[in-house]
Structures are given as structure tokens and as C-alpha cells.
Amino acid sequence: MKKKITIKDIANELGIHHATVSRALRNDSRISQSTKDKIVSYAKSKGYKLNQSAVNLRNTHSNEIAVIVPNISHYTFANFVSVITDLAARNNFIVSMFQTRENYEYEKDAVKTIMQNRVAGVIASLSLTTTDTDHFKDLIDFGIPVVFFDRVPLDIKAPKVTTDNYKAAYGCVNLLINKGFKKIAHLTGPLHISVFNERNKGYQNALKDHVVEYANNVVIPKEFEISDGFDAIQKLWKEDEKPDAVLCDSFTLSAGVNMFCRNQNIIVPDNLGIIAIANDPFSALLEPAQTIMSQPINEMAKIAFDLLIQCTKSEIIDVTKSIQPELIIRKSV
Amino acid sequence: MKKKITIKDIANELGIHHATVSRALRNDSRISQSTKDKIVSYAKSKGYKLNQSAVNLRNTHSNEIAVIVPNISHYTFANFVSVITDLAARNNFIVSMFQTRENYEYEKDAVKTIMQNRVAGVIASLSLTTTDTDHFKDLIDFGIPVVFFDRVPLDIKAPKVTTDNYKAAYGCVNLLINKGFKKIAHLTGPLHISVFNERNKGYQNALKDHVVEYANNVVIPKEFEISDGFDAIQKLWKEDEKPDAVLCDSFTLSAGVNMFCRNQNIIVPDNLGIIAIANDPFSALLEPAQTIMSQPINEMAKIAFDLLIQCTKSEIIDVTKSIQPELIIRKSV
DNA sequence: ATTATATTTGCACACGTGTGCATAAATAAT
DNA sequence: ATTATTTATGCACACGTGTGCAAATATAAT
């Protein structure tokens, strides 16, 4: 490992002060063009690389944005992180990844590490097992702005970006009823999470508004896997009064339902309609192609990023941006 | 934003030297238990948080591992990053994400940023447009260890972790031929990339070993999208001598082929066999369920991480770990 | 030619932590 | 009781960069 050259080395070599070198390399207007040229070309020839740790220490904050998500390998989050990473790079930030695996303790660990690293800001989506949000309050008190995304807390003053979950679910049920379905079940998550709570409200109210009696919410109390959707519909299918349609709160759940139908020769949508709130492109590849209420993840990511940048520059604002989802009708209803 | 407490603040308050505080908080054996207790409890009561930037500066390297991938939203990479993130957290590292979008310039930018941040190590998968790897050589010369993964360069001495691509493709063709397919096409990527080159060699040699005459490789010179698979098979289907099976180098390509078959009422596998080298769990959800040669991404990630840790601790080694893929036979062949 | 103004560079210190070495205090050995 | 040894703490400096202010130099105005 060869010795790393510093601005002091450059200063000594060129017989000038390191502050001048520092300013020249950042293209400070106070340095004359001639010395800038001299310094820049010398720095380049010697392979000088800025030491960002030193800059971060001096600036009392780092050039990082931390992203906390439950699971990076889930498409929605992967998609989200992908957009954030592009935006960050374009704005000279680095993205640090944290994954909670739906575990409250891991989430707290992540927050601790984030504080130690004095990151410029955080974008977070809560874990399913998080009921206490004090660690995030500490983070904000510590001076690190946090923007929440998708799974947002209701008891923290901070910018939040969500899909309009109420309307998403309401719209799905509305479509199903208009298509003639009468017994609609809802595969959802723990209702203490605002996302699922609002969707369930939308589901319930749509039923009420159409004077539909059958209602059936199946709460899946953990990370949604394909098998969870499979198991849920299998159970429903044994009931006396079977549903004739299901609203699924994730693509994986609907994929599990689809799989069950194929196994049992249940014709979709004739015997069972399937709709999901999701944004996974593979929904189009299922047989029959899956109708979805699409969450505009790209747009949400962009808004979340902009809000965060805004918070790093000025005061923390307490807004909730609720983005409208888009119905993509395919063959499963 | 409240004032952040430092070890010097603690030292002053307790009437001791900050070096003692520093050592106590790191549980240095030279500090007596009584003063440790006093310091730790005081630090906790005041909400002291270590400043990692200062530590990084002092240590001349950061606590970060950088991961460079073409696209985080692609399942293979999302899965990989997910595993790496877990391992990193368990070993007190942070993962910084970089996404090249298959763009050589972005890759160079990422490397530059990584150098500036003095990261502890890098795990990278090359972009499709990267033909010159000098930036990675610079990185290694700079003292930052790099482990390559999946898309590896052949001209750099560094640890590399790949699927055994030759055997993966060979095994696929072998299966197809044993199942009675005779005209097998290969949808692959640019052959200057070692991954595709080796797969194509495996494909060609398997055909040769079975004395099969028909060979047809379709090179898709960019990031694989579903539409690319669709377009490729559409073109092949217009040829005088149509293939009766395709080996696809990604799940997305095979999904595109599947979609074309559904559109055109081509029966899979009777009229066309489909097999893919992939690890996407949604391959099981296609109709018919997709046969794949599965890349062991989790295992590869673990090996890559271990190799990197090893490199940060001792000398850089020049090994290539070639991991065996696993054939998962479903309905599409 | 003198003063006023603008431009350019230098100086000193700060950011928070870690480490080698010296010193001081406590304990053990003679 | 004195010396040797262990244990505990302090001191000074280093890590590389950025910034407010002062000083020096150059340019413009009178």
C-alpha cells in the first residue's frame, strides 16, 4: 500500500499553504486561476485523492444517506433503493444500506450505527415488529433528518411518503364489485401498521358503500412469502362460504393464491378473481396476467429524496405525501 | 440540533484524560473496572455517541464496504446485496451501495468516490460496457481490496467468485438433448464478458459432444429486459429453421420467451423447450413452471464476503472460486 | 504619487478519536 | 523497608481537511 498524498504534501512541494491547496481543489473563487491550474495539475499527476473522512469530521456530518428497509431482496424495496441510489450519486451522496429483516432489534442497531456515522439523512420504512418508535425520535433529536416511506409511523413529526392506501384498496374492491364479484376477502398484514390499517379501512368502506355483506380479512402476521398467500387461500377455500375474489396486499401473496388456483384447477377469474396492491413487473407474467393496483415507487422515491434534501438544508417539516396508485387491469379479474 | 457530547467533554466532566475515556469505552484491558463503570454510565446518561468519522480519519480507513452492481432492482443483485448487508452488519461494517446501470463512466465515478471514502473493501460486478479495468487496478494499488463477483475481469489479480458458468450451460444443453430437443438456441450477452463467454463455450461443447449440428447464439448487447427475450425469440421464430428449445442466460430473457409463446399459442415444452440460468424464485410461477439452472447466490455472497474480510486482514490473494449451480427441473422442458 | 479597493494567500485553530510512551500509583517480592 | 513488578492513567501528537480572519499583494481611483 503506497503512501497517500495529502493537501499538505502538495502544499509543501509547491511552497504554498495547505489552505490554498484546499481551496484551489474545491475551485474556490478566491484563488487565482494560475495557482489553481498549478495545484490541480500537480495533484492529478501525483494521484491525489480527497480524504472524505477528514472532510466529514470537519463538516460534523458525513456525505451519506442511510436507507433502512425491511428486506432489500423484495422487489418494492429493491426498486426503491435503486432509484434512491441513482439520485444520491447525482447529488454527491453515498447510500448506506440497512436491512431490518422485520426485526425491531436490528432496526435499533441500524439507528445506532447511523448516529455514530453522523449521516446527512435517513430514509426509512418500519419493520413489521416495530411498535415503539423512540429510536427514530432520538435520531431526529440528534439532528439527523428522517423521511419515512411506505411503512410510516403516525406518532412522529417528520416527512412521510406513502401510497394512498385507502384509495388503493377502495379502488380494488370497487373494480371487483363492478365486475360482479360479491364475496371479497382481504389478505393483509398486522393492522397496527398504518399501511394495512388504511387499506383495510378502504376495503371495509368500499364494501359498505356497495352494501355488500360478505367481509373477511385474513391477517398475515409476518413478512409476506408466496407460501403465505398459498396457505391463506387454502384455508379460505375450506370455509363454508368461500370467497369469489381476493384482494392481496402484496404481489407475493397474490402469487401464492395464483399458485393454489393452478394446483386445484380453480379457474381465474371465473371461479376466483385476484387483485393485488403491488408494483412488481412479474405480475404481468402470471397466468392469467395479474391485475394490480400499482404503487408508483419511482415517484415515491423521488419525492422522499427531495424531502430529505430539503430537510438537510432547512427545518424539518411534518408533511405526509400520499401518492395516488394506478390501476392496471389485466386478466385476473 | 443539540450539541453533541464528545469524549473530551466526558473527560473534563469527570476530571480525567480523554485518552482514558477513549480506552474505557472500547473496553481496553488497561483501564480499571471502576473507572470504566463510571465512564460508561456517565456516557450513557449523557447520550454519548461515538463519532465514526473521527475514528475513520484516525484509522486511515472507514468502516464501510462498498458494493458495486449494475442494477440493484434485478433480483440476482438484490439478493446478493441483501446477504452482504446482513453479513456486514454482523461484522460491524456498513454497506455502501453503488449502481452502474451498465455504464462504464458511472462505474469509474463509483470507484473514485470509493477511493475518497477510504472504504475497507469493495465487492464488485462489472458493467456490461466495461472493457478497460484500469480503474479497478488503481483501486487495488491504492490499497483497497476488491473481490469480484459474477461478472469478473480476467486481467486483474484479485479474488473472484463466479458460478461455474461453463458447467451451468453445458448441463442445461445436456438436459435438453436428453429430453429429445435437437435445435437449441442460446440467448446470451456480449461474449467479451467472461460469464457469457464461458456459458457459450459450455453450450457449444455440449452440442459438439452430442454431435448436434444446429447451433445458434443470439447475443443481446445490453441489460436483459423481458422485451429482449420476447424480441429475440420472435426473430428466431421467423427463421427457416426454427429452434425447438432455448437456453436463456437470465430469468428475464426466459420470461420474455414464455410471454411470446403464450401470445402465439406455442405450447411449452412440446413446441419449444425453455431453460434459464437464473436464481429468481418467480421462475416457479410461470406457466409452465420454468426449469432453471440455479445460481447459488447466497453461497456466493458468503464466500465473497469472507474473501474480502480475509483481504482486509492480510495479503490480497488471487483465487477464483467457481461455485456449482443446481439444476431445478420443472415443466418447461 | 497617494489612497482606496479588490484580489490573493497565509496563519492558526478546530473537528473527535486513537496510540506510543512516560509517569504515577498500587501491589508483590526480597 | 526497600526494590522490583504490575496496573492504571496522563501527555502529546497524529489523522487530513476547512474556515474566519489577518496580512500581503495587485489593481483601480483620485
pLDDT of B222 reads 85
What's the CA gap between A177 and A181, in Å, rounded? 5
* A94-99 and B94-99 beta bridge pairing: antiparallel
Where are the alpha helices (H) located in chain B, listed in sequence order? 7-14, 18-25, 33-45, 52-59, 75-90, 104-116, 134-141, 165-178, 194-209, 226-237, 251-264, 297-313
User: Is there a contact between A94 and B113 if contact means CB atoms under 8 Å apart?
Assistant: yes
Cell of A105: 432489534
**Interval B285-325: pLDDT, tens:** 999 999 999 999 999 999 999 999 999 988 778 999 999 99
The pLDDT of residue B2 is above 70: no
What is the dihedral sign for C-alpha B185, B191, B195, B197? positive
The pLDDT of residue A2 is above 80: no
What's the CA gap between B297 and B288, in Å, rounded? 24
The pLDDT of residue B31 is above 90: yes
Cell of B21: 475515556
The predicted model gives A7-12 an average pLDDT of 96
B259 Cβ under 8 Å from any chain A Cβ: yes
Of all residues in chain B, the percent with pLDDT exceeding 70 is 99
| Strand C contact with B8 (CB < 7 A) | yes
pLDDT of B134 reads 97
pLDDT of A1 reads 57
Q: Are A88 and B22 in contact (CB under 8 A)?
A: no
- Give strand C nucleotides closer than 7 A to any protein Cβ: 7-12, 14-20
What's the CA gap between A315 and A139, in Å, rounded? 15
Best of B52, B253, B267, B305 to mutate (most A CBs within 10 Å, chain A)? B52
Cell of B117: 471514502
One DSSP character per residue, B104-163 reads HHHHHHHHHHHHHTT-SEEEE---TT----HHHHHHHHTT--EEEESS--SSS-S-EEEE
* CA–C1' A17–D23 (A): 14
One DSSP character per residue, B316-330 reads ----EEEEPPEEE--
Closest partner residue to B255 among A96, A143, A285, by Cβ? A285
**Interval A186-211: pLDDT, tens:** 999 999 999 999 999 999 999 999 99
| Strand D contact with A219 (CB < 7 A) | no
Q: What is the pTM of this model?
A: 0.95
* CA–C1' A32–D27 (A): 14
3-class DSSP state of A251:
helix
Rounding to the nearest 10 degrees, give the CA dihedral for residues B84, B88, B89, B94.
Answer: -100
Where are the alpha helices (H) located in A60-193, listed in sequence order? 75-90, 104-116, 134-141, 165-178
The predicted model gives A12-39 an average pLDDT of 95
User: Is there a contact between A287 and B286 if contact means CB atoms under 8 Å apart?
Assistant: yes
A211 Cβ under 8 Å from any chain B Cβ: no
**What is the residue whose three cell numbers read 459432444?**
B209
The predicted model gives A83-96 an average pLDDT of 97
* Entry field: residues in chain A: 333
Q: How confident is the model at residue A313 (pLDDT cuts 50, 70, 90)?
A: confident
Q: How many CB atoms lie within 10 A of CB A199?
A: 29
Contacts of residue A197, Cβ cutoff 8 Å, sequence gap at least 6: A191
A53 Cβ under 8 Å from any chain B Cβ: yes
For residue A261, what is the nearest residue in chain B, using CA coordinates? Answer: B285
A282 Cβ under 8 Å from any chain B Cβ: yes
**Interval B55-100: pLDDT, tens:** 999 999 999 999 999 999 999 999 999 999 999 999 999 999 999 9
Q: Are B62 and A53 in contact (CB under 8 A)?
A: yes
From residue B314, give the alpha-carbon distance in Å to each of B114, B137, B141: 20, 18, 15
What is the dihedral sign for C-alpha B35, B36, B41, B44? positive
**Interval B122-143: pLDDT, tens:** 999 999 999 999 999 999 999 9
Conformation bin of residue B59: beta by default, left when phi > 0, alpha when psi is -120 to 50: alpha
* CA–C1' B11–D12 (A): 16
**Interval A257-296: pLDDT, tens:** 999 999 999 999 999 999 999 999 899 999 999 999 999 9
Of all residues in chain B, the percent with pLDDT exceeding 90 is 95
Cα maximum dimension of chain A: 89
Q: Are A291 and A329 in contact (CB under 8 A)?
A: yes
